[in-house]
Amino acid sequence: MKRGTTVYLYELAWILPSIAIPVGMLAALVVTAFGAGIHLPGVEGRVVPTKVAETPPFDRPGVVEIAPGRYEARLVAQIWSFTPSEIRVPAGSTVTFVVTSRDVVHGLLIHGKANVMLLPGQVARVTTRFDRPGEYPMLCHEYCGLAHHTMWGKVIVEPRS
């Protein structure tokens, strides 16, 4: 192989990835935005943090049955608790958590079920299904101050009678 050709291939080995990587990143953006529907919330996904207590649905936190077997759990996070700190649903329920924070950044982690950041001013929604009866801890998994480690609650999934 001629020396000049070797240099050309060496350059090509850098040029091609430098084109492929941004193209790959752009493709990942398009797929997640339009395919997986990952995007910033619109106006309906915002709330004024200082007025959470007066803003529906957070003026009445708790669980409501929105259809047979489908529930909406409206939670408010604040230092250092969730309101309500305990929710109950029957086994086999599909639950949509609608959650926001009234002060600082918190998180909601229900192992294997939900994992969202709770940003003041933003409403997080996550839907999951509870088939097995039992207790599922709801943990704050974003450091939110001195008593962060005490910020937790639980989902109690009751057996169907």
- Residues near ligand CUA (CB under 6 A) are 80, 106, 140, 142-144, 148, 151
Burial of 113 (0-12, 13-18, 19+ CB in 10 A): middle
Tell me whether residue 47 or residue 140 sits nearer to ligand CUA (CB atom): 140
Minimum distance from CB of 105 to ligand CUA (Å)?
8
Neighbours of 92 (CB within 10 A): 14
Q: Which residue lies nearer to ligand CUA by CB, 93 or 122?
A: 122
Which is nearer to ligand CUA, 75 or 157 (by Cβ)? Answer: 75
CB of 149 to ligand CUA, least distance (A): 8
Closest approach of ligand CUA to the CB of residue 80, in Å: 6
Report the candidate in 91, 74, 90 with the shortest Cα–Cα distance to residue 82.
74
CA–CA separation, 84 vs 26, rounded Å?
41
> Residue 23 in 3-state DSSP?
helix
